[in-house]
Structure 1
């Protein structure tokens, strides 16, 4: 189970890291490259996108470093809960926009974050 949790945590961290590009790529370029799945960025100001990207980057750090450095490893499942909340919000936003197909990806990430949170809090906590 520990290996599965590390794999899912790594996948989640990688997805979040890639997603931080919204802080550096102009909104128009993102929509052009991402098509209809990226149109949501036009609903947010560049500052709001930067803030979302900053939260995602902090989540990457919180999912990996506490366990690797063995400094407050309880922060891994706490971060996973925060990531689940982030993707719950993303899912709600997509559903309000009528983007049911793209909302499925956010639901998947939500479920992965819940898996990590439950796994690290209850099933296979660090140091346990």
Structure 2
């Protein structure tokens, strides 16, 4: 096994770990926003119940899209698109929080943007997946 193959294998494993972590995070957040009482767990939901439902649905789609196409090897490029969509969602969430005077709360959003960017880059350049024939 060459150094390049070892690096590629390590990158692939790292990407799978990050994809799984993001998927679990987004699926959890989606379920929380859709199925929890209005006063929990996010205080902004009281004022924006419909927005919570929309973003909860987007969170579920992000969680599924970041892993399922790659896992099934059916149109695995959709994982890359899901990573880009996740980045857009987190930018929108950051703008929303800043507009509410909650700029101190966007650190997590920025962290997710960085992870999603790494996944998009990694799946495009370093450890691309091919579709199953």
Q: TM-score, normalised by structure 1?
A: 0.85
Query: How many matched pairs?
Result: 120
Alignment match, 2:29: 19
RMSD of aligned Cα (Å) = 1.6
TM-score by length of structure 2 reads 0.82
Report which of the two has the higher share of helix: 1
Gaps of 5+ in 1: none
Structure index of larger Rg: 2
| Structure 2 residues not aligned, in runs of 5+ | 1-10
Question: Post-superposition shift, 1:100?
Answer: 2.5
CA distance, structure 2, for counterparts of residue 26 and residue 82 of structure 1: 27
Over 3 Å off, 4+ runs: none
SS at match of 2:79: helix
Partners of 1:108 and 1:122 in 2: how far apart? 21
